[in-house]
Structure 1
């Protein structure tokens, strides 16, 4: 009798060395994109802001995603969505009363230059901006300002 290979459930983290595996990315792609659109709806993001956060997919690719035709997302897009999900979670822990509005509020932190975080992330922050905002929120959750 052979023992079947362990099946991953949604509750189990995927090992770092398996995250670039196309089969793993394929399984993660649909749920990740649905989560992204739910988050984007809560933050009231425009199509342009959504596309910027996803790394500027073409308009037709974006609309395919929106219509549920996701296919297999790149490691880059999955990383971007993961960072945004982490931000969403941190915001709801830190600022439950205005978590979904935080991205649009002017921010005095020097990295934002007085602008709303979403504006900074979508115009000049890029992937590094996503990491920086995620680290900022994680630091605040840990008690660092």
Structure 2
């Protein structure tokens, strides 16, 4: 009887909508707008979901997202937050991702170019760089 109760509880928990997907998408699209990103660039940050899926997400801002997509969104949110802390002027913070950077992780590329490689590890590198600049 206990095993059946556990299975039912697990099925019920799985059926609940995941609030992280819609919240993450709303935040990501707001950041993309602030950074002046094109749809193709946002798709790349999200791990290149199919176009139809991406535009559905963009239109509804609602989806149950996979772990990889949530991880990517989390890195972008962390990058955005770190920039807001490092550069209190929002215009300067938003422009930083577009500027060429001579620091070793970027080798003359902008942070955005590094993030758009398609690898989640590159989002991690940019986030780690900014956290180090913040003294974290």
The yes-or-no answer on 1:54 pairing with 2:40 is: no
- Give unmatched runs, 5+ long, in structure 2: 1-12
- Give unmatched runs, 5+ long, in structure 1: 1-20
The yes-or-no answer on 1:133 pairing with 2:126 is: yes
The yes-or-no answer on 1:99 pairing with 2:93 is: yes
The yes-or-no answer on 1:118 pairing with 2:112 is: yes
- Find the aligned partners of 1:121 and 1:25 in 2 and give their Cα distance: 29
Q: Using the TM superposition, give the Cα deviation of residue 25 of structure 1 relative to its aligned residue in structure 2, in angstroms.
A: 7.1
Offset from partner CA, 1:21-68 (integer Å, 9 cap, x none): 856772211111001000110111111110110000011011001011
Does the Cα contact within 8 Å between 2:83 and 2:93 map onto a contact in 1?
yes
Aligned CA distance change for structure 1 residues 22 and 33 (closer, same or farther; 3 Å) = farther
Aligned position for 1:76: 68
- Find the aligned partners of 1:135 and 1:141 in 2 and give their Cα distance: 10
TM-score of the aligned structures, taking structure 2 as reference length: 0.82
- Find the aligned partners of 2:110 and 2:46 in 1 and give their Cα distance: 18
- Find the aligned partners of 1:22 and 1:84 in 2 and give their Cα distance: 26
Q: Using the TM superposition, give the Cα deviation of residue 87 of structure 1 relative to its aligned residue in structure 2, in angstroms.
A: 0.6
After TM superposition, the runs of 4+ consecutive aligned structure 1 residues lying more than 6 A away are: none
TM-score of the aligned structures, taking structure 1 as reference length: 0.77
